[in-house]
Structure 1
Amino acid sequence: MLPWNRVLRPLAALLLTAALAVVPATAAQAADTSGGGGWNDHSCRPSAAHPRPVVLVHGTFANSVDNWLALAPYLKNRGYCVFSLDYGRISGVPLFHGLGPVDKSAEQLKTYVDQVLAATGAAKTDIVGHSQGGMMPRYYLKFLGGAAKVNALVGIAPSNHGTTLSGLTHLLPYFPGVGDLLTTSTPALADQVAGSAFLTKLNEGGETVPGVQYTVLATKYDEVVTPYRSQFLSGSGVRNVLLQDLCPLDLSEHVAIGLLDRIAFHEVANALDPARATPTTCASVFS
C-alpha cells in the first residue's frame, strides 16, 4: 500500500495553491463592488450594445471579489453591467466559498440570476464562470429552468467532467474514509471528482441544452482540472477553445487563466458579443 504522505501531500498542495492564489485579502477589502462605478451596481442598466448583464461565478475556494479583480473591471470598462455572487459557503469557513454541494449552489445561482434580472430589467443574462463556476451553472441550465433566462455560458477552465487531479483521485479507493471525509466536509470537492454521481447525472442525456451558447476556454497547462481536455463539452451550440491554439506563448495554468489572462479575457468578450468579435492572438494582451 502506498504511504499516505505520497498521496495526500500533493493533493493538499494543489488545493492549498489554488486557495491561496485567489485570496489577496487586502485587494478584496479595497475593491468597490457595491456600486459607484464598480461592479455589482444594481443601478446599472444594460445598453443597446450590451443588452444582457453578465453574472460572474467564482470557483472552488474562491469568492465573489477575489476571483474577479481583473475580469470584472475588464468587462465593466467595455460597457457591461457586471455582477458576481458568493455561493457554496460552509458554516464556520470565512472567505472560502464554493465548498457546498454543487446542486445546492446551483439553486443559489438561480436565486441570484432572478435578482439581477429584476434589478436590471433584462430578459436574459450571460454567465461567465471559472473552474467549478464554469460547470455548476450547467446544473441550473439543465435542471432548474435556467435555459430560459441565460443566453450564453462561458466556462474558464471548467470542471465539466470532473478532475483526476493528475491521477491522484484514482488512489482514493485505496484509502477508505478519505472519500467520505471529502463528501461530508467539502461536498463540492467530492462532486468534482471524475466519475462522481453528481457529474454522471449532469452529463447523461446530453451535455448542453437548446437555446444556450456554450464556450469553454482551456489551457493545456492546467494542473487542477485534469486532463485538460475533459473540460470540453460536446453538443450543439458549443465552442471549445484551447488558449495555446490562439497564442502558443500563453503559459497560464488553472488559476492564472481565470484571474489574469488577458487572452482568455479577450475570448470571453468575443463569446459575449460574437457579432463584434475580433481575432484573439498573443497581441490580445494589449487590448
Structure 2
Amino acid sequence: MRRTWSRLGFALIAAVLVPAGPAAAQPEQLPVDYSVAAFVTGAMNAHAPYDSPGANDWSCVPTAEHPQPVVLVHGILGNGAGWPAMSPLLHNNGYCVFSVTYGIYPWQSGALAGTGGMAPIADSSKELRDFVDRVLAATGAEQVDLLPWSEGTLVAARYLLVDGGADVVDQVFNLAPIYAGTDVADPLVNAVFALGIQDPVFASLRPTCQGCVDMLPVSANIHELQAAGVYAPGVQYTNLLTRADTEVVPYTNGYREAPNATNIVLQDVCPVNFAGHNSISVDPTVAALMLNTFGTPTEIPCAPSPTPYI
C-alpha cells in the first residue's frame, strides 16, 4: 500500500472523524540525536551485535497501526549502530525497528573492525535477505518496510530484484540512492583505465573493499542493476535526494522515474536545508518525510542544516 507524505491532510482528517479506540501502550521514549557526530561515534565505537537505539528488540510485536517492521540498512563503512536519529524516532512512534549489519570482512581489525559494507554487494544482499527472514519469523509480520542509506540502497535494490525481497517488502524509503553509481572517484578511475591497469587494481580491492568497487558506474553490479530496471514490481519506492550530496556524484544518479517510485529532492521541500550525504540520515526534515511515508502524519519542519554538504 502506497503512503506518501503528501497525504498528510487526509490522515489528519481521518484522525478527527474516526472515533478513538482503546489507548495503546506507549513505547519508552528514547532520545533522538540529530547530529552527524552522534552517527560517527555510534558506528565507530559500536560492538557486535551493533544495535542502534530502540532497534533489534526481537520480542517486539507489531501493532495494528504499524503492522510492518522497519529494517534500517546502513551505508559503506557503517554498521547497524549508526542510526542515532531514525532508529529511536521510529521506536518512539510505535514501530518495531531492526538495524542490519552487513558486509563485514571477518579478518578486519583495528580501525576497520566492525565496519560494514566492505564485502561484495551480491553477498551483502543475501545477508539482508537472511536478516529480514529472521525479522519476519520473530515478529510474525507478513512484510517489512526498508530504510536503506547510501550503499545500502544498492544492497536493498539487489535484494528486491534478485534475492526474493519483493515478496516480503511493501515499501522502501531510500536515503541518497546510488542506482547509477557514483562518479566521486572519477579522477582515480580514469587514471587506472588510461594506464590499462584496471583489472589488477580492482582485483586487489576485492579482499579489502569490493563494496567500494561495486558502487562505481563501471562496475558489473551497477550494469546489472540498470539492465534489470532498478525497481522490483509490486514494491513502492521513495527516493530522497539532496543537491548538497558530495558522495553520490551527481546526486541525480539516485533519480529514476517509474509508476511505483516517488522522487523527493530535499531542497524542493526545504530550500534552505543543504544537508549532505551523511547529514540527511540525522536531519529533522528528512525524518519527518520518512515518518509520513511510513504512515505516521508528522509536521515537516524546515531549517538550515547545522552540517551542510557533510
Scaled by the length of structure 2, the TM-score of the pair is: 0.77
1:157 aligns with 2:176: yes
Q: Is the 8 A contact 1:164 1:170 kept in 2?
A: no
Asked if 1:233 is matched to 2:264, the reply is: no
User: Which deviates more from structure 2 when the two are superposed, residues 39-48 or residues 165-174?
Assistant: 165-174
| SS class of match (1:23) | helix
Counterparts of 1:105 and 1:72, CA distance in 2: 21
Count of aligned pairs between the two proteins = 262
Aligned counterpart, 1:81:
96
**Residue of structure 1 in register with 2:293 after alignment:** 271
Partner-residue secondary structure (3-state), 1:24? helix
Q: Kindly tell me: are residues 26 and 146 of structure 1, through their superposed partners in 2, closer, same or farther at Cα, counting changes over 3 Å?
A: closer
Q: What residue in structure 1 maps to residue 227 of structure 2?
A: 204
Are residues 96 and 27 of structure 1, via their aligned partners in 2, closer, same or farther at CA, if it must alter by over 3 Å? closer
> Letter of the aligned partner of 1:84 in structure 2?
S
**Structure 2 counterpart of 1:4:** none
Deviates more, 1:132-141 or 1:109-118: 132-141
| Inter-CA distance 34–63: structure 2 relative to 1 (3 Å threshold) | closer
Contact 2:50 2:80 in 1 (8 A): no
Secondary structure of the equivalent of 2:278? helix
User: Unaligned 5+ residue runs, structure 2?
Assistant: 1-35, 306-310
Q: What is the match of residue 216 of structure 2?
A: 193
RMSD (Å), alpha carbons: 2.7
**Alpha-carbon distance between aligned partners in 2 of 1:212 and 1:165, rounded to the nearest angstrom:** 29
* Equivalent in the alignment of 2:56: 40
1:71 shift after superposition: 0.9
Structure with greater helix share of residues = 1
2:274 and 2:304 in contact (8 A); partners too: no
1:51 maps onto 2:70 in alignment: no
Please say which of residues 91-100 and 169-178 is displaced more in the overlay: 169-178
Q: 1:125 to 1:63 in 2, by over 3 A?
A: same
Which of 250, 257, 262 is the equivalent residue of 2:280? 257
1:282 aligns with 2:305: no
User: What is the 5 A alignment of 1:21-170?
Assistant: 22-24=39-41, 28-29=45-46, 38-66=54-82, 68-93=83-108, 94-165=113-184, 167-168=186-187, 169-170=189-190
Long gaps (5+) in structure 1: 1-18
CA contact (8 A) 1:22 1:62 kept: no
Q: Which has the larger radius of gyration?
A: 2
Tell me how far 1:22 sits from its aligned partner. Answer: 4.7
Give, as a single letter, the amino acid of the residue that structure 2 aligns with 1:173.
F
- Which structure has more relative contact order (CA 8 Å, sep 6+)? It is 2
- Percent of aligned pairs sharing the same letter: 35
Alignment partner of 2:71: what SS?
Answer: strand
